[in-house]
């Protein structure tokens, strides 16, 4: 649920083309499988068909270009081994001509990356913030000023700078932004919010009266029973 689904590239110069070429190259080298660095299966056949539908629609109805076509590797099998069984589709990269394509705005939940070129920062942030979801957003840059500009304007609750999956570490919690489709009810699903939801905070207020015989004498010797409650500041 935290995998980046849309890549907005500001500009279309040589640097941007080099970036996209590298992304395409790396995605094309990913093999299907359950090992480290491999692309695993999707959850079921229905999910596989849904993913194919988005890719097919982008290509046939929206004029998008399929830069890496995972459909060529897609299969559904009930084989005897884990490597054979399951619903599989390879990494897919779609270069869109319009930001209104379904794959640009809806959650596919598959190994699909939508790419779109924008002309300016303002256009990039407008498209990002127009999305109804608000789980995460990130920016890749070597310029601190650029990073600050975007992180101040992103409409999402978990933000990354040169981090593609910006899930925060403890004690900060995982959760979407209020007012988006990534947030339901109150509090986050981890951290203090989860503790509040699944448990009760029990508060105990106590007062102990120190018996006269438990006080220390002026010369430091015990004047009575051991002070187990440590009223005198001693263990």
Catalytic residue among 1, 39, 62, 138: 1
Q: Tens digits of per-residue pLDDT, 10-29?
A: 999 999 999 999 999 999 99
Contact between 91 and 39 (Cβ < 8 Å): yes
Q: Are 167 and 138 in contact (CB under 8 A)?
A: no
Give the H/E segment covering residue 25. helix 14-28
**116 and 104 in contact (C-beta within 8 Å)?**
yes
pLDDT at 194 over 80: no
Q: How far is CA 75 from the centre of its chain?
A: 27
Could you tell me the two tokens for 213? 């015989």
Residues 151, 135: contact at Cβ < 8 Å?
no
* pLDDT, position 218: 45
Q: Cα separation of 6 and 16, whole Å?
A: 15
Comparing 61-70, 78-87, 102-111, 165-174, the range with the smallest average pLDDT is 78-87
Report in angstroms the alpha-carbon separations of 200 from 36, 136, 212. 40, 30, 38
Q: Do the beta carbons of residue 184 and residue 178 sit within 8 Å?
A: no
> Average model confidence (pLDDT) for the chain?
85
pLDDT of residue 193 exceeding 80, the answer is no
68-90 average pLDDT score: 81
Q: Per-residue pLDDT tens for 113-161?
A: 999 999 999 999 999 999 888 888 999 999 999 999 999 999 888 899 9
Q: Pairing relation of β-strands 112-118 and 6-10?
A: parallel
pLDDT band at residue 224 using 50, 70 and 90 as cut-offs: low
Could you confirm whether 62 is annotated as catalytic? no
Q: Is the dihedral of CA 212, 214, 219, 221 positive or negative?
A: positive
- At residue 127, what are phi and psi to the nearest 5 degrees? -65, -45
Question: What percentage of residues in the chain have a pLDDT greater than 90?
Answer: 56
What is the three-class DSSP state of 121?
helix
Q: What percent of the chain has pLDDT over 70?
A: 83
């Amino acid at each position: 649920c935290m995998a980046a689904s849309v890549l907005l590239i500001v500009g279309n110069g040589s640097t941007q083309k080099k970036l996209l070429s590298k992304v395409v190259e790396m995605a094309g080298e990913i093999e299907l499988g359950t090992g480290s660095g491999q692309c695993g299966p999707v959850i079921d056949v229905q999910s596989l068909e849904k993913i194919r539908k988005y890719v097919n629609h982008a290509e046939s109805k929206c004029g998008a270009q399929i830069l890496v076509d995972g459909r060529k590797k897609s299969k559904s099998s009930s084989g005897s081994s884990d490597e054979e069984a399951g619903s599989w589709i390879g990494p897919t990269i779609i270069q869109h001509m319009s930001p209104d394509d379904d794959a640009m705005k809806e959650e596919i939940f598959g190994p699909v990356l939508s790419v779109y070129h924008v002309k300016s920062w303002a256009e990039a942030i407008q498209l990002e913030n127009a999305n109804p979801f608000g789980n995460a957003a990130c920016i890749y840059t070597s310029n601190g000023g650029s990073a600050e500009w975007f992180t101040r304007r992103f409409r999402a609750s978990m933000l990354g700078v040169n981090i593609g999956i910006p899930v925060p570490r403890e004690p900060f919690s995982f959760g979407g932004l209020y007012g988006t489709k990534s947030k339901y009810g109150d509090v986050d699903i981890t951290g203090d919010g989860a503790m509040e939801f699944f448990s009760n905070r029990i508060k105990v207020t106590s007062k102990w009266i120190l018996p006269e015989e438990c006080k220390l004498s002026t010369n430091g010797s015990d004047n009575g029973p051991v002070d187990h409650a440590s009223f005198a500041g001693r263990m």
